Structure 1
Amino acid sequence: MNWSFFHKLGSPKWFYDISGRWLPWFVLATVLLLSVGVVWGLVFAPQDYQQGNSFRIIYIHVPAAFVAQSCYIMLAVAGIITLVWRMKLADVALRCAAPIGAWMTFIALITGAIWGKPTWGTYWVWDARLTSMLILLFLYFGIIALGQAISNRDTAAKATAVLAIVGVVNIPIIKYSVDWWNTLHQPATFKVTAKPAMPIEMWFPLLLTVLGFYALFTVSLLMRMRVETLRREGKTRWAREALEKMS
């Protein structure tokens, strides 16, 4: 197996250079996907026959929930790479992605509560899906707080990596909670193995917004990682040259 690409990812300079080329494309994808998906979903998609217009919040809620869970899986992978290969960029990715994941989880919880009021008659219940998503938010907070509380960078990297890996057990609980327990939360909107329950004019804009949120996450992560990489590599020649170009 050719590991050259994997080792290149461990180079801060290579990452900074290649991410600078990728960023404009991800920004363009974010603008196009979210503009079309959100406007289509909120304005032009037909009403749901049961929930009326209140269902439209799924065009924010579902993408945020998807990204929140995917982000934590990424943290766990970055944690493994940090512990096994001691790759500095993996720790950078973990530190930079955690606040984004926390925001996405918060948005998913808030929009879910707004959706729950007209659907269930209450903003919050200790439902298995809602509770496990709340735990996910606390895990994000724990990783952020742990990284800030430990002054030694290597020790902080190991501690946050361990917490990210241990906490990933919550992800399958979130995903399968509606199948394992009697819950108010509806089943998954998208299933790879099943045909969407909604008509195409409703689920296609949702697909666009999901992709748009992933593109937005990528843009946010790359920008944060680029800043953090320059901060950590500030004494190197290439980082000083990059900072000079920015000034």
Structure 2
Amino acid sequence: MHGLANPARFLRLARWLTPLLLACGVVLAGGAMAWGLFVAPADQLQGETVRIVYLHVPTAWLGMGGWSALALASLAELVWRHPLAGIGARAIALPGAVFAAICLVTGSIWGRPAWGTWWVWDGRLTSMLVLFFLYLAYLALADAAQRDGNGGGAGGGSRIPAIFGLVGAVNIPIIHYSVLWWNSLHQPPSLGFGAGGVKSAMAPEFLVPLLVSTVGFSLLFGAVVLMRMRALLADQQAEARLRRKAMAA
């Protein structure tokens, strides 16, 4: 972990890992989506509308997983002062916000035929909307810290965004358990862990393409994060060179 905190070593790794993640993600996500749309059967109760699950569930997972990764990067920035931790958190925030937004949009589209309405102030939906706003707030805080120069450059961030990233993680278990804690129109989790291992309420013909789609979108998410980290590092290095030239002049 500490070895990857070296920017030069990270860039060497990211240079070949980024296209690999991108290619594998496109193949897996595209193939799973095509299988789910054209090959998998319609649901007995929800009919053809269930096919949106192959996009909705992966985006929900990545919206929540993105903030979890952002919180871990914020912890590393605060405790271990990893040079790339703040850059990683900033790189995660934008794609995390995009996936959270897609989750909300697809959930509303799915909810219209399933519930008869586009939106309800349900525990799961409301907490996911809060997560989207948390992403926007983090992006605003990180940009303000960059402009003020408190984080040491384009990628470093300051302690305030890092603390916010940790505090915002409180919302993740609320999203996950909201369908169990409160009366909810949203269905309970389809996957769970019991004494016999992983338990699924989904038939294999739905579960397999869903899992493949989730893995594919996760790889795409990782590729986008690496691309953003490389761009933020390049901006940071360019600003450092400009400062050195200004001081030499």
Same fold, TM exceeding 0.5?
Answer: yes
* Aligned partner of residue 154 in structure 1, secondary structure: coil
Aligned positions, number: 232
1:24 deviates by 2.4
Deviations 1:154-180 (A, max 9, x none): 284211100000010000000000111
2:73 paired with 1:73? no
Structure 1 residue aligned with 2:246: none
The whole-number CA distance in structure 1 between the counterparts of 2:114 and 2:239 is 56
- 1:57 is aligned with what amino acid? I
- Choose from 77, 96, 116 the match for 1:101: 96
- Choose from 23, 30, 40 the match for 1:28: 23
Structure 1 residue aligned with 2:149: 152
2:105 paired with 1:135? no
- Choose from 229, 232, 244 the match for 1:225: 229
Instruction: With the length of structure 1 as denominator, give the TM-score of the two structures.
Output: 0.90
Structure 1 residue aligned with 2:2: 7
The whole-number CA distance in structure 2 between the counterparts of 1:57 and 1:36 is 15
The whole-number CA distance in structure 2 between the counterparts of 1:109 and 1:79 is 25
The whole-number CA distance in structure 2 between the counterparts of 1:233 and 1:152 is 14
Instruction: With the length of structure 2 as denominator, give the TM-score of the two structures.
Output: 0.89
Deviations 1:171-200 (A, max 9, x none): 000000011111100011332444322221
Structure 2 residue aligned with 1:244: none
1:63 deviates by 0.1
The whole-number CA distance in structure 2 between the counterparts of 1:49 and 1:140 is 37
- 2:232 is aligned with what amino acid? E
The whole-number CA distance in structure 1 between the counterparts of 2:211 and 2:87 is 30
1:153 deviates by 3.6
1:167-246 → structure 2 map (5 Å cutoff): 167-193=168-194, 194-234=198-238
- 2:221 is aligned with what amino acid? F
Structure 1 residue aligned with 2:111: 116
The whole-number CA distance in structure 1 between the counterparts of 2:240 and 2:96 is 30
- 1:44 is aligned with what amino acid? V
1:234 deviates by 3.3
